[in-house]
Amino acid sequence: MQNSSSLPRLEDPSRLAQRLMQKAHNQDGLPEIAMGLFFLVVSGLICAQVTLPHGSIGFRIVVLALAILIPALGLSMPAALKWVRRRYFIERVGYVQHKPVGWKQIGFGILVAVLVAGVLFGVVPRLSRPDGWLLAGTGVFGGAIVALGGRLPRFLVNGALMAATGMILAYSGVSLDRGFAILYGFEGVVCLVSGGVVCLRFMRQPLETGE
Amino acid sequence: MSAKIQRLGEVDRIIHEPARLMVVALLAAVKEADFQYLHQSTGLTKGNLSVHLSKLEEAGYIAIQKTFRGKYPLTICRLTDLGREVFANYRKVIRAAL
């Protein structure tokens, strides 16, 4: 009689596909470069907001940019990545047409956003040192998203760095604006360097022709 | 041996081969993908991948279309209706056994 330990290792085929697609998505370093640039833009705008005189035209432009440009950049990143890959990297990464995002995923995203908003507006203001909690929470939550988004060692390191930076900034007592500027700026540089190294190594691989 | 484990003996042998399973699982998760994407994602050599794609096409599980994107030749693969049905059954059996 065969016991289950002698059977070949089985894996849910859907999980197998997700794992392979995630690996393909991250192999050229482009998502990290995009994330790094995004974080640096956010950090730059926050720095500008802190530096510019309140009520000045520059200050208002920066506030508008934070409110409109940042969400727009975030939402357009997947399409931009797709365009860059198809225009410049298609010979190396190949061509794929993904299925449209399902209602389940959209619903899950909305649920997470509602939960985060609930914590931000409902719980954090009641805590002592809410600025510190916001910085630490952003670092830890953001770091978790980075680590889970990639599931490769370099993403785990990046995520841990972001979490640690958030907690250090919270402990240091720095103001919220400056804290966010430093957190996003640091993580932006880390993602840019990490993604850049991966991209260069990917581009250096010899291109095999033929099928 | 439980009935669920015994059902593993009924799985489609064409899909159950590890390399072909990777290909079919990927194609089930997307609308379509080209040869180079499958080669990069699965890590199979081009020759090996070519052989497995031929087997899947012979079985009627995938359709292969050769086209161009500008000057770049594309060999686009997508699951057929039969392929989706067979993969769905396969996935049901595997999930039940897990």
pLDDT at A123 over 60: yes
Rounded Cα gap, residues B74 and A97, in angstroms:
13
Q: Residue ranges of the alpha helices (H) in A98-129? A: 103-118
Percent of chain A residues past pLDDT 70, beyond the cut: 94
Contact across the interface for A94 and B37, Cβ inside 8 Å: yes
pTM over 0.95: no
CA A69-A36-A179 angle, to 5 degrees, is: 80
Residue A194's pLDDT band, with cuts at 50, 70 and 90, is very high
Does residue A207 sit at the B interface (CB-CB below 8 Å)?
A: no
Token readout for B64 is 């292969």
Closest among B40, B48, B58 to B19, alpha carbons compared: B48
CATH class of this structure's domain B3-97: mainly alpha
Q: Using CB atoms, pick whichever of A10, A21, A97 lies closest to residue B26.
A: A21
Q: Domain boundaries in chain B?
A: 3-97
pLDDT at B22 over 80: yes
User: pLDDT tens digit string along A149-163?
Assistant: 777 888 999 999 999
Q: How far is B74 from chain A (nearest CA, A)?
A: 8
Substitution target in A3, A89, A209, A211 with the highest count of B β-carbons within 10 Å is A211
Does residue B95 sit at the A interface (CB-CB below 8 Å)?
A: yes
Residue A96's pLDDT band, with cuts at 50, 70 and 90, is very high
pLDDT at A24 over 50: yes
Q: Using CB atoms, pick whichever of B1, B8, B21 lies closest to residue A1.
A: B1
Does residue B55 sit at the A interface (CB-CB below 8 Å)?
A: no
End-to-end CA distance of chain A: 44
Report the pLDDT averaged over residues A72-92.
91
- ipTM value of the model? 0.86
A 63-102 residues with CB < 8 A to B: 86, 90-99
Grouping H, G, I as helix, E, B as strand and the rest as coil, residue B63 is strand
pLDDT at B93 over 80: yes
Percent of chain A residues past pLDDT 90, beyond the cut: 47
- The 8-class DSSP code of residue B98 comes to -
Q: Using CB atoms, pick whichever of B31, B41, B95 lies closest to residue A20.
A: B41
Give residue A117's pLDDT: 79
The strand order across the sheet containing B30-34 reads: A96-98, B30-34, B72-79, B62-69
Q: Using CB atoms, pick whichever of B46, B72, B91 lies closest to residue A210.
A: B46
What is the Cα Rg of chain A in Å?
Answer: 21
Give residue A38's pLDDT: 93
Give residue A119's pLDDT: 79
Judging contacts by C-beta atoms under 8 Å, the chain A residues touching residue B54 are none
pLDDT at B38 over 90: yes
- The 8-class DSSP code of residue B73 comes to E
Report the pLDDT averaged over residues A81-99.
91
Total beta-carbon pairs less than 8 A apart between chain A and chain B: 94
A2: nearest CA partner in chain B: B1
Judging contacts by C-beta atoms under 8 Å, the chain B residues touching residue A9 are none
Give residue A125's pLDDT: 76
Q: Using CB atoms, pick whichever of A16, A90, A98 lies closest to residue B25.
A: A16
